[in-house]
Amino acid sequence: MSHSRGHVIVVGAGIAGLSTAWALMRRGFKVSVFEQGPIPNPRATSYDEHRITRHAYGTLEGYAYLMPRAFALYEEMFKDIGARHFAPGSVVYFLRDDVDWFEPVSRSMAALGKGMHEIPLGAVPDRFPMIETKSLARCVETEEGGMLFPIRILTDLTVFLGNAGVSFHADARVSDVDPEAGTLVANGEIHRADRIVIAAGAWVNKITPVVADAVIPSRQAVMYLSPPAEYVEAWKSVPVLIDLGTESGTYTLPPRMGTRLKVGDHVFTRSGDADGDRIATEADVARLNRAARLAYRYFDRYQVLEKKICFYTVTRDPSEEFQVKPWGRKAWVVSACSGHGFKLGPLIGDGVAAAIAGERSDGDTVRLAAGRMSLDEARAL
């Protein structure tokens, strides 16, 4: 392949970096990926058995508008890698307190033409026998979501990109990025490119000051579980379950297609260092255990298979907007990490590649990544 469009170095081989490499390679750029660990890296935020994808986006309506294009780009990626690492399904929400969720979701789902409906509370015990119904106020099912399988996506994408001519540099921690000269240092050597994209996940503030005022790393815990015998069958057929209670707030991915049952929460710790230890203590999972006991019946009967520590960056303000910005003349910083970045990885990577290729203005790419496009703009992507 000719690389007449120039050479781009991508730093980081998580979903953001690999998606950006994919989108650039498809546009005819020469791409090199530098990753501080193995590729894919088990310490990366992206590296996990499953991730939720969905159109329902709560109050972040701008991200809901991006979801049809995000789903479409994953389908294009699956075609390229030759495997559809996606289990489509609905997502069911359990509302216990007065949360600002139903109105914005009804609005955005209607605008997108996507279905949602109430499940009568009387039907919950039959369909979801594992759910604690005490204090349950409402149950809502949203259509067209499901689970992505990240480890398989990252692995197959790496193989595909390598075969397509992308050069990979594993165990190459990058430092000293010069965004004006287009240079960086890895393993004591200086490397130069026409453009540099930094997609360093929870390490981003160690490599660039550009988003340090906006994002902070957050140590998060999830648990993988084996359900008690009486719920094994039920877990085989339930979709993704999300509890929106203030105290009981959890998200749960069922065991499907070779994955384990996983439960986590979205209470950000806003502390920790992604280079630090990854040993989950009882303190790390204390809040999650309390919440899960309120969300699930007989939660103490589940066997814990693994307590896992992972990191993402979250915004210092409550916006949860991805921070994707040009840096100097020659670099972009892509901090599309946070608790909702996997489903949007290919869309953000494509946006950055479009800006580098001159197909879209830098400003529009920044707005797209921040979820600030109107429905009409998102439809035109």
Nearer to ligand FAD, 120 or 318 (CB): 318
Q: Which stretch binds ligand FAD (CB under 6 A): 59-67, 70-78, 103-111, 332-340?
A: 332-340
> Using the rule CB under 6 A, is 343 a contact of ligand FAD?
yes
Reference 320, options 98, 114, 11, 57; nearest CA is: 57
Does 366 contact ligand FAD by CB under 6 A? no
Rounded Cα distance, 87 and 91, in Å: 12
User: Can you say how many angstroms the Cα of residue 251 is from the centroid of all Cα atoms in its chain?
Assistant: 14
Kindly determine how many residues on this chain lie close enough to bind ligand FAD according to the rule CB under 6 A.
39
Residue 217 interacting with ligand FAD (CB under 6 A): no
Residue 151 burial by CB count (10 A; 0-12/13-18/19+): exposed, middle or buried? Answer: middle
Binding ligand FAD (rule: CB under 6 A), the pick from 227, 255, 326, 339 is 339
Q: Counting contacts by CB under 6 A, is residue 34 touching ligand FAD?
A: yes
Helices 61-81 and 15-26 pack at an angle, to 10 degrees, of: 60
Based on the shown chain and the rule CB under 6 A, indicate whether residue 86 belongs to the binding site for ligand FAD: no
Stretch 107-126: interaction string toward ligand FAD, x if CB under 6 A: --------------------
Counting contacts by CB under 6 A, is residue 199 touching ligand FAD? yes
* Peptide bond between residue 239 and the one before it cis (omega within 30 degrees of 0): no
Asked if residue 51 binds ligand FAD (CB under 6 A), the reply is yes
**b/e per residue, 180-204, with b = 16+ CB within 10 A?**
eebbbebeeeebebebbbbbbbbbb
Give the H/E segment covering residue 246.
Answer: none
When asked if residue 295 is in the footprint of ligand FAD (CB under 6 A), the reply is no
Q: Given the complex with ligand FAD, which of 146 and 326 has the nearer CB atom?
A: 146
207 binds ligand FAD (CB under 6 A): yes
Picking from 265, 46, 38, 22, the residue whose alpha carbon sits closest to that of residue 160 is 22
Which of 65, 94, 296, 342 touches ligand FAD by CB under 6 A?
Answer: 342
- Using rule CB under 6 A, residue 201 touches ligand FAD: yes
Q: For residues 251-272, b (16+ Cβ closer than 10 Å) or e, as one string?
A: bbbbbbeebbbbbbbeebeeeb
Q: How far is the CB of 332 from ligand FAD (least distance, A)?
A: 13
Region near ligand FAD per CB under 6 A, out of 35-43, 101-109, 299-307, 371-379: 35-43
Q: Is 61 helix (H, G, I), strand (E, B) or coil?
A: helix
**Distance of alpha carbon 224 from the chain centroid:** 18
Of 158 and 338, which CB lies nearer to ligand FAD in the complex structure? Answer: 338
Separation of first and last alpha carbons in the chain: 27
Binds ligand FAD (CB under 6 A): choice among 71, 160, 203, 268:
203
- Please tell me whether residue 23 binds ligand FAD under the rule CB under 6 A: no
Stretch that binds ligand FAD, among 92-100, 132-140, 160-168, 195-203 (CB under 6 A): 195-203
Q: Is there a contact between 116 and 106 (Cβ–Cβ < 8 Å)?
A: yes
Nearer to ligand FAD, 290 or 297 (CB): 290
Query: CA-CA distance, 292 to 289, in Å (whole number)?
Result: 5
* 16 lines the binding site for ligand FAD (CB under 6 A): yes
Task: Tell whether residue 219 is a contact of ligand FAD (CB under 6 A).
Answer: no
Closest CA to 101 of 54, 31, 165: 54
Q: Which residues bind ligand FAD (CB under 6 A)?
A: 11-17, 34-37, 41, 43-46, 51-52, 173-174, 199-203, 207, 220, 222, 264, 310, 312, 336-343
